[in-house]
Amino acid sequence: MLTWHVIDGPGHGRFLIKTFHEQFKNMDVTTMVKTAGKDLIVKDGKVTGVTAQDEQGNTIQIDAKAVTVATGGYANNKEMLQKYVAFPDTIMIGNVGKDRDGIKMARKAGAKDEGMGVLQAYRPGLPDYAPNSHMLAAARQPYLWVDTHGRRFTDESNVIIWPHSVNAFSKAGGIMYSIFDETSRKHYVNDGIDVPIGEWVIANTKLTKFDEELQKNRGFVYKAQTLDALAKAMGVDASVLKETIDQNNVFVAQKRDEVFNKNMDYLRPVKTGPFYAVKMQPAALGTLGGVKINEKMQAINKDGNAIPGLYVTGNDAGGMYGDNYDLLLGGGAFGFAMNSGRIAAESALDYMHFKKQ
Ligand SMILES: Cc1cc2nc3c(=O)[nH]c(=O)nc-3n(C[C@H](O)[C@H](O)[C@H](O)COP(=O)(O)OP(=O)(O)OC[C@H]3O[C@@H](n4cnc5c(N)ncnc54)[C@H](O)[C@@H]3O)c2cc1C
């Protein structure tokens, strides 16, 4: 059974960073915040330091026996998204300042790429809607999703193993509509949702902000009294949409989905107007492609050799997920970030001791 493993303490992840920071106070460690790494210093093929810029714009040179790059990937770099990602408009949730700095620095030092286009694919999303939005929570319920032709394209309940849902609708063209009727809207608002959206909107939450969010809708939510009007607003062929909905209603009545064999708990009729369609795009929690590394977290160059003194971790490193994010190991991305950092530090220590002999 899937469950959440959340860091115990106020602010979750922030609490962990704070704990590290407290530890550093008792160690011979200097932490420089608001200081951006800009470039790696390379001498005779070895990385020997980094140049950085402080808050005042001063350039600082830090000499080092080894450098670890850990700047979190390129989720906020539009040019890179355009170049590498199948749907560059993918909504990047919760990412700030992930501009590819580390990948750029490592590339300049001769590092090779791996798995550049891989994303930490999330659930279908809506631009400018916060992850705890009630409209999003309604639209992410696994009832009836259609592509831009008005046809179903997946077992909607794969939103529970969420990368599958984004993978499915990426294959279906990268735009989908979640369809529901007034009876379902009332169910969401009065009884609560059946499928939780992470810990952002938990199961049984009554979507009391649905109507308020509908009023503020910026063109992604369509409401119509008839299915013909809904299809027109969506820009899909009304006969195809109605055929899909009729088929859905047959599956509900017979308690069996003959197309995708979806769990019958997630079959709901679409019968009572007004009807709703929410237009959605892929969303992701970050990028997972970057620098090719070996098992010691050393950056690998184009000839397949490790670049001495250069280590790359977390979302700046590629290859952890092959060509696709998955949920086989909950906390895997965060766990990799933590443990790749640990392994890089251990490897760098070995390297430095080796150099001393
Ligand atoms: C909303 C959300 C939910 C998530 N949920 C999960 C989950 O449930 N399970 C899971 O396993 N993973 C989850 N993740 C993913 C996980 O948080 C990341 O994979 C992980 O934090 C990546 O760690 P990192 O060290 O590579 O990068 P980050 O944690 O992003 O840290 C990189 C840091 O580098 C800084 N930086 C950037 N450029 C520079 C520069 N030039 N110089 C100096 N510093 C720089 C950034 O400001 C940032 O502080 C989630 C991510 C998000 C956004």
Residue at which a domain ends, from 257, 281, 305: 281
What separation in Å is there between the alpha carbon of 71 and the centre of ligand 1? 8
Q: What is the dihedral of CA 59, 63, 64, 70, to 10 degrees?
A: 10
Q: Is residue 126 part of a domain?
A: no
For residue 162, what is the domain's CATH number? 3.90.700.10
Domain encompassing residue 105: 13-118+285-351
Q: What are phi and psi of 345, to 5 degrees?
A: -65, -45
Asked if 290 and 274 sit in the same domain, the reply is no
pTM for the whole thing? 0.93
Q: What is the pLDDT of residues 210-239, one digit of tens each?
A: 999 999 988 999 999 999 999 999 999 999
Asked if 245 and 347 sit in the same domain, the reply is no
Rounded Cα gap, residues 132 and 201, in angstroms: 6
Rounded Cα gap, residues 164 and 327, in angstroms: 9
pLDDT at 204: 96
Q: Is residue 235 part of a domain?
A: yes
Residue at which a domain ends, from 260, 281, 302: 281
Does the C-beta of 16 come closer than 6 Å to ligand 1? no
Q: What are phi and psi of 308, to 5 degrees?
A: -60, 130
H/E stretch holding 46 reads: strand 46-53
Rounded Cα gap, residues 251 and 254, in angstroms: 5
Asked if 21 and 112 sit in the same domain, the reply is yes
Residue at which a domain ends, from 281, 312, 336: 281
Asked if 246 and 261 sit in the same domain, the reply is yes
Q: Given ligand 1 and candidates 334, 336, 342, 343, which is best to mutate, with the most ligand atoms within 8 Å of its CB?
A: 334
For residue 86, what is the domain's CATH number? 3.50.50.60
Q: Is residue 4 part of a domain?
A: no
Does the C-beta of 286 come closer than 6 Å to ligand 1? yes
Asked if 28 and 47 sit in the same domain, the reply is yes
Location of structure tokens 């959605």? 280
Q: Is residue 1 part of a domain?
A: no
Asked if 276 and 139 sit in the same domain, the reply is yes
Query: Which pair of tokens denotes residue 59?
Result: 């350039």
Output the residue whose Cα is nearest ligand 1's atom 29.
Answer: 72
Rounded Cα gap, residues 242 and 225, in angstroms: 14
What separation in Å is there between the alpha carbon of 23 and the centre of ligand 1? 20
Asked if 276 and 177 sit in the same domain, the reply is yes
DSSP conformation letters of 261-288: ---GGG-----SSSEEEEEEB-EEEEE-
Asked if 110 and 207 sit in the same domain, the reply is no
Q: What is the pLDDT of residues 244-299, one digit of tens each?
A: 999 999 999 999 999 999 999 999 999 999 999 999 999 999 999 999 999 999 99
Query: Which pair of tokens denotes residue 328?
Result: 């086989």
